[in-house]
Chains A and B, each alone.
Chain A
Amino acid sequence: RENEQRARKRKMRLLTHNMLSSNIKGVANGFPLRIEVEKVVEKQVDFNADFLKNMFAKIEWKALVDASRSMGYSELPGDANPAMLDSDDFLQKFHHALLELHLEEGALVCPETGRKFPVNKGIPNMLLHEDEV
């Protein structure tokens, strides 16, 4: 029972998803991976405005919006610009999508080939088969 409770904490944040790309041979642009959700978990994390402002420039915004919507969160604006970082409301939403939504079970799907990379206990398996390398 205790192991079950522990296992439930394992999950993948959308910040990680924003870095991952399909690495299958022949794929021109494997980013972003589509998310197939089986289980989403929400977990609160301390808010850090400076961190968010730094991350904003590096994040692929559209990928984050689409990913958060597939996880059931639709509060992020479709387009964003740096001026929005002055708004606490915007920062809170950005914080929530980036750091507090976690994929526990599901799959990440290559946008070009449709190949599914399974996510189990929050860990995506990006290992390629021999013919994909």
Chain B
Amino acid sequence: IDLEQYPTGPHIASRMLYTAENSFGDVSDKVVADFGCGCGTLGLAAGLLGAQHVIGLDIDDQSLEIASINADDLELDMNFVQCDIKNFRWRDQIVDNVIMNPPFGTRKKGADMDFLSVALKVASQAVYSLHKTTTRDHVKRTALRDYNASSAEILCELRFDVPCLYKFHKRKEVDIAVDLWRFVPQNSQVKRL
């Protein structure tokens, strides 16, 4: 419960990855990292779209086990690392793009912003991320002012169906509006649109 794991539905994963690849060429032949990969949905979708090397990061044993099985089933080579994103140390900017569906921060406030902060340090070209529409202004301001983003664009708005997984959900089913963002870090090597 502490980890607040909501699986990324296939419609959201396809939308994110197809947009990243068809509009920006950010997937095929790239090194892609999936932060908080869970069952590996986003990373595997990147692999299917031709990413050269995909690394999934997650803190949870069980998720990584499932993600590994999913990768085997799809016959995709995906590397996984078990770690806590917040204190994980990378060698800077060797990853081209980060794709992620971070925890929304309902239980632990600001969890998604922690992920975004790290993502913008790791990615050399772009970060694709989902954040609640209600936090839109906060996300944009923080990314540009505090996290070294040179641009922060909303690509589209999506609806995320979250079934009543946890006791703290008051209603039976919750429908969350999320924005799909594309951030570009400062000193990026890619030309912006």
Q: Which of A10, A13, A45 contacts B72 (CB 8 A)?
A: A10
Residues from chain B with Cβ under 8 Å of A23 in the complex:
83, 87-89
Residues from chain A with Cβ under 8 Å of B164 in the complex:
none
What's the Cα separation between A113 and B79 when bound, in Å? 25
User: Are B53 and A126 closer than 8 Å at their CB atoms?
Assistant: no
B-contacting residues, A91-117, CB 8 Å: 99
- Which of B5-13, B90-98, B155-163, B178-186 participates in binding chain A? B90-98
CB proximity of A122 to chain B, nearest CB, Å: 7
B-contacting residues, A25-78, CB 8 Å: 30-31, 43, 45, 48, 50-51, 55, 58-60
Which of A31, A126, A133 has the most chain B CB within a 10 Å cutoff? A126
Closest residue of chain A to B53 (Cβ to Cβ) is A15
User: Are A127 and B53 closer than 8 Å at their CB atoms?
Assistant: no
User: Are B77 and A58 closer than 8 Å at their CB atoms?
Assistant: no
A-contacting residues, B53-99, CB 8 Å: 53, 55, 59, 64, 68-69, 71-73, 77, 79-84, 87-91, 93-95
User: Are A21 and B31 closer than 8 Å at their CB atoms?
Assistant: no
Closest residue of chain B to A46 (Cβ to Cβ) is B52
Determine whether B153 belongs to the interface, using a CB cutoff of 8 Å to chain A: no
What's the Cα separation between A61 and B134 when bound, in Å? 45
Residues from chain A with Cβ under 8 Å of B52 in the complex:
48, 51
Determine whether B29 belongs to the interface, using a CB cutoff of 8 Å to chain A: yes
The majority secondary structure among interface residues of chain B is mixed
A7-26 contact mask (Cβ, 8 Å, vs B): 1 or 0:
10111110110111111000
The majority secondary structure among interface residues of chain A is loop
What's the Cα separation between A45 and B80 when bound, in Å? 18
What's the Cα separation between A18 and B83 when bound, in Å? 16
Which of B29, B77, B84 has the most chain A CB within a 10 Å cutoff? B77
What's the Cα separation between A7 and B77 when bound, in Å? 12
Residues from chain B with Cβ under 8 Å of A51 in the complex:
29, 52
B23-34 contact mask (Cβ, 8 Å, vs A): 1 or 0:
000000101000
In the A-B complex, list the 6 residue pairs whose CB atoms are closest, starting with the nearest.
A23-B89, A126-B83, A21-B89, A6-B72, A16-B79, A125-B82
A and B contact pairs by CB, cutoff 8 A, 27 listed? A10-B68, A11-B79, A13-B53, A13-B79, A15-B53, A15-B79, A16-B53, A19-B55, A19-B91, A20-B91, A22-B89, A23-B88, A30-B89, A45-B77, A50-B29, A58-B94, A60-B91, A123-B64, A123-B68, A123-B80, A126-B81, A126-B83, A126-B88, A127-B82, A128-B84, A128-B87, A133-B87
